[in-house]
Chains A and B, each alone.
Chain A
Amino acid sequence: MSRQSARRAQNRLDHGGLVDRTRPISFSFDGKSYQGFAGDTLASALLASGVHHVARSFKYHRPRGFLGAGPEDPGALVRVGSDPATMVVNQRATEVELFDGLEAFPQNCWPSLRLDFGVVNDLMHRFLPAGFYYKTFMGPPGSWMFFEPFIRRAAGLGPAPSAPDPARYEHMNRHCEVLVIGSGPAGLAAAREAARSGARVILAEESAACGGRLLGEAEGDALIEGMAPRAWRGDVLAELAANPEVTLLTRTSASGYYSQNWVTLFENCTDHLPPSEAGHLPRHRLWRVRAAQVVLATGAIERPLVFHGNDRPGVMLASAARTYLHRYGVRAGSNAVIFANNDDAWRSAFDLHDAGAHIAAIIDTRPDPAAAHREAAEAHGIGVRTGATIVATQGRGHIRSIDVAAFDAGGVTGKPERIACDLLCVSGGWSPNVALFSQSGGSLRYDETLAAFVPDEARQEVVAIGACAGDFALAEAVSRGVETGRTAAREAGFVASATDPVAGETRDAALPYRVTPAWELPSNLPKTRIRAFVDYQNDVTAKDLHLAVREGYGAVEHAKRYTTTGMGTDQGKIVGVNAIGVLSGVLDKPIGEIGVTTYRPPWRPISFGAVAGQHVGGLFHPRRTTAMHDWHVENGAVFETVGDWLRARVYPQPGEDFEAALQRECRAARNAVGVLDASTLGKIDIRGKDARSFLNRIYTNAWMKLEPGRCRYGLMTNEDGMVFDDGVTACLADDHFHMTTTTGGAARVLGWLEEYHQTEWPDLEVYMTSVTEQWAVASICGPRAPELAADLFDDIDADPERFPFMSHASGHIDGVPARVFRISFTGEVSYEINVPASYGLWLWRTLMERGKPYGITPYGTEGMHLLRAEKGFIIVGQETDGTLTPVDLGMGWAVKQSADFIGKRSLTRSDTARDDRLQLVGLLTADPGFVIPEGSQIIASGREQSPRTPMIGHVTSSYFSPTLERSIALALIAGGHGRMGERIHVARRGADPVPATITGTDFLAGLKEAS
């Protein structure tokens, strides 16, 4: 180690803790180099070098240091890395593990951590009260517009990475009998006992090492089952590691607790490693665990006290100071003050003293701290002030001194005394970490003795033990752990053998936990100047909570949202109970009556990558392709997604743009032969003696008289009378039909048929089978299509006279079986050729080869859309949006009067029978060259009125028609069917409305007879 580094690591003890002093690690923070050891976190290594100020708060940009030592820390957020793809922001320095070459940076400050101009917010804090945003929204028109850029710039955490994430993420699915969350003494005991029964056990530990508070406390004369605690821990871990039914996961936090004991575990696999050592591992894993029994040993979280000036760097939870000391071998200060309302925090004074720190004072808000502690303090020569509070603190980037004074219920009574210090250990008591218990649906109960919420009634198969259950004593935690581990395994059907070794004595080194709550401490300053922080990340003070109550947001869920208490990335881990305590004081109501805000997943921030898992890129939404897909790719098709399918949209030739290709394809379909890959259409084979009457109930039109060999177009409506699918169904035999659906609606329609058959009409004998994938379909159309068809078919007469429109035939093409439907979606003579899917590509190549003399041209879905729009055929989902009846679409002819069908009754409801509903019409613009943008709004007059012009409809489809050599459009217009020939206008953004005339929907009607 260089001399400079040695000087910097001034606060590192030469022994103790879990760090490996033989493995120094170099890292940088804010551009400066430091050294730590293997086993350090960024926080412990920086503290070892005397660095406290590492961040700025969210709103007021106040200096922030390390309040905690783990996931609970609210303020010490940093950015790790600088690569635009792999950098991660808002990482808790208390959890970031050191590796060689780690680069970390402060965030939310400009131009630098020390000199941050955002601090102007702090100076203006009186003008940025709680609810500032809401009040600005409610202000005079325009005030939000004025303030927003300022707010957006000033507020915020780290910046988002700007390049795609190259890392890999995984989901893991697991079942187990017993899932133990947390590996403190209670969790270890439970996992060991459950594992001894032979049950499958998963033990999840959030940090890098198992042991929980065992690692953060001095061992003293404590014993677990007759052993020194850390030796006991080593034995248990060795036993668990040797058991093949145990999965021990470190760096793994339970992020969410869902129904029926389904728990997600977020595992960090490589963030703690230098990139060169990450190897083949994914960055994060999300374990999705279904556990028969869950044991929550999630411990407790210490909370700070709420007093003026409680947020300076150097103010630290008393337990965190002990963790840095005992787990990392770091003395967080050399001249410390301890400020608490409970006996537990006094341990920090004695431990720091034993580590060579000077203890300037112990300040206890209670008049009656434990006598044993007082004697020990006297023996150590530590000054003690009881019934006293800190009324102010000093020091800009780091605490320098505090002012302490006596107080009673009426406020500060004594004259403040100033005490110098470089570390202030605070403790407002412990809050059991009930987040997961609450997520599981369990209820919480306020325990007056503990001054905290504890688990009450469980709703799932879950038990909370140890500090999570409010059992702070070691003996209780271990015995409850043992008992719960056995019970959980037994409930899941596993019983341990009776030969377990008899356990030795378990005893605490510490005094029993005693606390007297002090939620909001007084100061001698004027009320308006007191800034006692409750939420250190979102900068919420006790004063803000008072304001929320005054302004009517006294309910705990309202106060939370109004002030943003607990809404930062820390989700209020240290905040919650303090905020409730302050509210209880303001409202003068018992805490139990105020209740807690709802705990929701995730327990801690997890990466989007872990949530997505492997479902990214090509695996995000796998696409289906047709049998002809390879040909489309080879021939330069541009694709679009339709439902799950990739469909060829247009086939541009070299040098041709999209529109030119589209026009060429459509001209060929009208003048020669076009061919479309129609394989994606949904196809359902329907059989049974009642198939016909079933169809008659499903479709809006009549099916009882359709003869075998014939086809019919049908519309389906919901019970609300609104069109939801359409298609042609062919009668193959009296009890056998071939139904086609829209591409995107295939699965939905099959489900719909099955639902009605099973739940409403189980008496009908009918069988439905999806055959979408079994048939490949090429649809040829155009004036020369009959010639090509005649050339193609072995044994089907292709003549349109003898093989008429809306009929079908079965036969062969070069010996390959084919089913041919004479149905048309373009208005041209068409043959929809179905062959077994394995012949799809062969069929397509054959068509292209044999069709050459007839000018065969493939057209894509865009051409199909244009051709059908010329003919005025609807596309469900383009013209319709779930609010249109068959009548609205001008298809009243498809509604039978003879019998009931799904949705029929709705068509005569007063609302659906209105004649001023949106109705489908054609539009011809006055300027034949102007193609209206789809979605354009339609207005009645050419002058837009101020401030609002009534909209009378909108454009659903719009093209330049190559056949008519002019623009055409389909539109929905209020009462449109009764407005033929009327002139309307199409509104445009930033330009004058365009006049157009309402027409019928079949633009080819005047040209020629459709076949």
Chain B
Amino acid sequence: MFRIRCPYCGERDQIEFGYGGEAHIARPADPDALSDAQWADYVFMRTNTKGLFAERWVHSAGCRRWFNALRDTATDRFVATYVIGEAPPLPVPQLVPGDQAPDPAEAIPEEAAGGGQR
């Protein structure tokens, strides 16, 4: 059971929060312009990071605000929480510059090779 620092309310027990999966995946501005594979990558594909991971949480039994957190998935240590719209305070593997909207055709072999470095 984690203790999580809501950027608006402070530290609270995990029971007050809901989990929202990987952060910093923007909804495509023009979905119709995407191929089936690109759209499927947005809808279904997520990184499976071991290590520092930017993820979304919602303080559902508190202020009901969404925010982002950096958590080390290997140690379950929360490194930081920050409000939606801000950049992560540390570089995270899933957001390596230039790789934010990976071409799915390229992404697949990387993941098959073990991921982690994306």
Contact = CB atoms under 8 A, between A and B. Distances in A.
Q: How large is the interface on B (under 10, 10 to 19, 20 to 34, 35 or more residues)?
A: 20 to 34
Interface in B28-87: 30-32, 34, 36, 39-40, 42-44, 56, 58, 60, 64-66, 75-77, 84-85
B43 A758 contact: no
Given A260-B1, A719-B43, A906-B39, A759 B66 contact: yes
Given A260-B3, A751-B58, A755-B66, A905 B27 contact: no
B25 to A, nearest CB: 10
A758 B84 contact: yes
B91 interface: no
B43 A720 contact: yes
Contacts of B65: 758
A760 interface: yes
Given A260-B2, A720-B43, A909 B36 contact: yes
Contacts of A904: 31
B2 A905 contact: no
B89 interface: no
Interface in A718-765: 719-720, 751, 754-755, 758-760, 762
Contact of A754 (B39, B40, B64): B64
A768 to B, nearest CB: 10
Interface in A35-66: none
Interface in A880-933: 900, 904-906, 909-910
Interface string B1-35: 11100000000000000101000001100111010
A910 B76 CA distance: 39
B34 A751 contact: no
Interface string A758-780: 11101000000000000000000
A905 B85 contact: no
Contacts, number: 54
Nearest to B30: A900
A910 B1 contact: no
Nearest to B67: A758
Given A760-B27, A905-B31, A910-B36, A258 B66 contact: no
Given A459-B75, A905-B34, A906-B43, A759 B56 contact: yes
B61 to A, nearest CB: 11
A585 interface: no
A262 B42 CA distance: 36
Nearest to A718: B43
Contacts of B32: 900, 905
A6 to B, nearest CB: 54
A635 interface: no
Contacts of A909: 36, 39-40
A259 B64 contact: no
Contacts of A900: 30-32
B1 A258 contact: yes
Given A760-B27, A905-B31, A755 B20 contact: yes
A719 B31 CA distance: 11
A910 B66 CA distance: 33
Given A751-B60, A759-B66, A762-B85, A290 B3 contact: yes
Contact of A259 (B42, B43, B76): B76
9 contacts: A259-B2, A719-B27, A719-B43, A720-B44, A754-B58, A755-B58, A758-B65, A758-B84, A904-B31
Interface of B: 1-3, 18, 20, 26-27, 30-32, 34, 36, 39-40, 42-44, 56, 58, 60, 64-66, 75-77, 84-85
Given A751-B58, A900-B31, 18 more contacts: A260-B2, A260-B3, A441-B76, A719-B43, A720-B43, A720-B44, A754-B58, A754-B64, A755-B66, A758-B84, A759-B20, A760-B26, A900-B32, A905-B32, A905-B39, A906-B43, A909-B39, A910-B36
